[in-house]
Amino acid sequence: MMPRDVDGCGMRGFPRFGEKPNLNDTTRAARYMSPQFPRLVAHSLSPHSRSSYIPATMSARLALRALSRLPRLPRHSPQSTRQSRALSSKPDKSFRGQLYDSTARRVQAERAQTEARLLAGKATGARQSKSNGATLGGLFAAVFIALAFYNLGAKSVPTVPTSSTAPLSSIKPPSHNTSKANLEASWAEFVALLGQENVSTSAEELERHSDSDWSSFHNNDHQPFLILYPSNTEEVSAIAKICHSRKIPMTAFSGGTSLEGHFAPTRGGVCIDFRRMDKVLALHQEDLDVVVQPAVGWEQLNEDLEKVGLFFPPDPGPGAMIGGMVGTGCSGTNAARYGTMRDWVLSLTVVLADGTIIKTRQRPRKSSAGYDLTRLFIGSEGTLGLVTEATLKLTVKPQNESVAVTSFPTIKDAAETVGKVMSAGVPLAAIELLDDVQMHCINESGTTARTWKEAPTLFFKFTGTPSGVKEQIAQVKAIASKQGASAFEFATNAAERRDLWSARKEALWSVMALKRNVGDKVWTTDVAVPLSKLPQIIEETKKDIVNSGLLGAILGHVGDGNFHAILLFGQKEQAIAEGIVHRMVKRAIAMEGTVTGEHGVGLIKRDYLPEELGVEAVDTMRKLKLALDPLCLLNCDKVVRMEKRKEGEKTHT
């Protein structure tokens, strides 16, 4: 590119502005006359021009300054223009004038074109600036809206609780969808899964799965929408997934023999009846364990095991099934020797609230691997998961067994005998107490084949080798005689043994048989205390029942400090029955006992738990419930409250 003369805005070979050209220099004159001169000037205005000496912006400014110094051509009328042309054609026109006029016109024309382009560029720039402004405004608006929504979203997401417990005041009440439309839509899904024959909306079935004559909680307000009958773990999982996605509450049901309102569907929803899951899946005879489904009854199981010389010790009331026994953590008459249900479950297969299937353990007799999830689910009453399989420990059936019965002058004498026998270390299989009222009910109902002495009575079960059984009997007779016991009656064969023990197993049904009116109810409750406190609490409770005027019996698995009260009452007597139960529970807590030894908490005793265990312990239980069932779909309202007591709602504290 041709170098420029910056100071004068000229170029080499051209005169500076304001100077006269040197006409003697023909080379310079030729360059000055060159048509490229205006273009070079205009080129300096271009933003694309670059010079090794001058930046483009400076080049443009200098070029405009140079153009401004050029003289403007005067405007002429047409006539003067013609005259000018005539004059310009005159031969005496000087060379200098012709050169100057020609150059000036070319520069003037180029300047006009450049100014036009600059004006056009300004207009375009204005439009682009306006367009860019609108774009930037929209961008800022979008960013502002996005930030606003992000802020709102961040505030709406609940923070993760950092506390180890869940006080009732800190949680929101459960929110379920039990609308007719949602439940009817779920019915179609359940039918597709199980078949229509395994989905019931029968009014009779709905009522049977809501309440029972022997339950302490009588439900008049709530029923499930339908009953489901799955046949395996996978179907139970699929049911849970449907309910979880639709927020439908679920209540488990097996034998229906529970006593504290365990299967009352307080939230409606669906009831899952396990009656089709009644199979023994595997018997490991050499390992002394068996794998069963939840609807296997303990009585039928023991009949099958007897054929191979094995035995499953927990024996609650007749009709109880494994699923419910796991749920309540039951025991039975054999608890004094063999312990409770917790001691005889090796492993569980459980369906969680969202349909997840877990297995809590393998099959070894002991394990230190991880948390003991098996015992977490035992006694949870169907609030943490749905048990679909259980691996149970077994033991060898005793070689010899005998039963003895003896009566006492007072119930206190009978209770004190229990403590002395247990303190002596006699390895009894069972020791049961029935008071005089209970023996009267058995005689009146005719539920056994014999007539009994209507006095406080102890039933003993002895097991072991023949010589061992004889030794146990001798020890017990000696202790009982000192407490005023009458003559012992012993079973000499299996038939007599069953006959003698039948009185204990018929206790509840014999009281129910004495109902005076159709509307009469039975309230069965239990507590447990340390063995040394047993005589006192039984005697005080007995006096309370007598003073109330109600028909009430006392019985229990007294070998481990657990006893029951069965109260028969009419509709107008319900408050009296509630008072007896309330005082019985209060006595047990005051004696460092428990509000329930084997029946479970259900709905009736949940409000006593804070007094027995402390508020913090109950809040920890609630935290566990929310961890495994955050939507509170599984048997909601049982064991611990999940929302505050409503106005007018009864509480037994």
In this predicted structure, the answer to whether residue 515 has a pLDDT above a threshold of 50 is yes
Mean pLDDT to the nearest integer, 14-38: 46
| Digit-coded pLDDT (tens) for 420-446 | 999 999 999 999 999 999 999 999 988
Region of poorest pLDDT, from 90-99, 253-262, 470-479, 507-516:
90-99
Closest CA to 640 of 250, 650, 626, 648: 626
What is the predicted pLDDT for the residue at 155? 63
Q: What is the pLDDT of residue 270?
A: 96
Centroid of chain to Cα 387: 16
Residues 6+ positions from 556 with CB-CB distance below 8 Å: 432, 433, 526, 538, 562, 563, 564
Q: What is the pLDDT of residue 94?
A: 64
CATH topology of domain 280-396: 3.30.465
- Quick one: pLDDT at residue 450? 82
pLDDT band at 653 (very low <50, low <70, confident <90, very high): very low
What pLDDT score does 67 carry? 45
Determine how β-strand 226-228 pairs with β-strand 199-200: antiparallel
Which fold would CATH assign to domain 400-600? Answer: Vanillyl-alcohol Oxidase; Chain A, domain 3 (3.40.462)
Query: Is 279 in contact with 293 (CB distance < 8 Å)?
Result: yes
10 burial class (0-12, 13-18, 19+ CB within 10 angstroms)? middle
Residues of the chain with CATH 3.40.462.10: 400-600
How many other CB atoms are there within 10 angstroms of residue 436's CB atom? 19
For residues 174 and 166, is the Cβ–Cβ distance under 8 A? no
Q: What is the pLDDT of residue 115?
A: 73
Quick one: which of 364, 372, 411, 651 has its CA closest to 537?
Answer: 411
C-alpha atoms less than 13 angstroms from C-alpha of 566 in its C-beta half-sphere = 28
Q: Residue 506: its pLDDT value, please?
A: 80
Q: Where in the chain is the domain with CATH 3.30.465.10?
A: 280-396
Q: Count the Cβ atoms, other than its own, within 10 Å of residue 191.
A: 14
- Check whether 100 has a pLDDT greater than 60: yes
**Rounded (10°) angle between helices 36-43 and 56-69:** 130
C-alpha distances out from residue 74 to 67, 81, 108, 116, 546, Å: 16, 10, 11, 20, 137
Decide if pLDDT at 107 tops 80. Answer: no
If one compares 76 and 560, the residue with the highest pLDDT of the two is: 560
**Whole-model pTM?**
0.75
Render pLDDT for 536-565 as a digit per residue (tens, 0 to 9): 999 999 999 999 999 999 998 888 999 999
Per-residue pLDDT, 213: 76
**Bridge partners of 565?**
525, 554
> Looking at the predicted structure, is the pLDDT value of residue 133 above 80?
no
| Mean pLDDT, residues 91-108 | 66
pLDDT at residue 58, as a whole number: 47
Banded model confidence at residue 509, pLDDT cuts 50, 70, 90 = confident
Cα dist. 193→179, 199, 229, 268, 594 in Å? 21, 10, 11, 21, 43
Percentage, residues of the chain above pLDDT 90: 56
Is residue 488's pLDDT more than 70?
A: yes
Per-residue confidence at 252, pLDDT binned at 50, 70, 90?
A: very high
Give the mean pLDDT of the chain: 83
pLDDT category, 128, cuts 50, 70, 90? low
Which tokens go with 282?
């595997």
